[in-house]
Chain A
Amino acid sequence: DTGVSQNPRHKITKRGQNVTFRCDPISEHNRLYWYRQTLGQGPEFLTYFQNEAQLEKSRLLSDRFSAERPKGSFSTLEIQRTEQGDSAMYLCASSVIPGQVEDYGYTFGSGTRLTVV
């Protein structure tokens, strides 16, 4: 296990189609996060899980977006009825449950770049 793995790396889809992304976190990490990043902006928080429980969702996460982490290991992010505004890099990150300041850092995956045409 060398890090956080995301698939696919790139996805081009037509407007209105559904897409699903997968994230495999570092195995010892209890927490898993999804962020979205558009060009020239910093990553924006979407949602996070502690084990299999989804603890928080951003208001950015409309009802077209759903995330799951059914067994507390890998996670999927699905976008239904994609829109051109969904085009972005979708980043997954994982971390241990923080106990010290040093634990707060995330490890990010390489991201999935979504283009909606």
Chain B
Amino acid sequence: GAVVSQHPSRVICKSGTSVKIECRSLDFQATTMFWYRQFPKQSLMLMATSNEGSKATYEQGVEKDKFLINHASLTLSTLTVTSAHPEDSSFYICSAAGGGTGELFFGEGSRLTVL
């Protein structure tokens, strides 16, 4: 199946700094990518839908100014957690539709720890 790659897989940062997470579709073009967040022992929660060349659509309760999403090309979407705080520590996962079928494929996830 299609491959979606995230980087970094783990990141530790100090409170108040910003962190960028990249999501790449390696062998297909993705006009739409989705960003999820997962806290320990909980299910995945959709944060936002990223559309190439346009503004992201955020789910209710997700601060767009804190979680900046850029989808500048058909193979790359980035999530920047600005002014990170310990409560932002979580597992962030991206997903993209590809392979010509609309099937969703997931990245490996990025574990953010804010000290």
Q: Do A and B interact with each other, yes or no? A: no
* Interface residue ranges, A against B (CB under 8 Å): none
Q: Which residues of B contact A (CB under 8 A)?
A: none
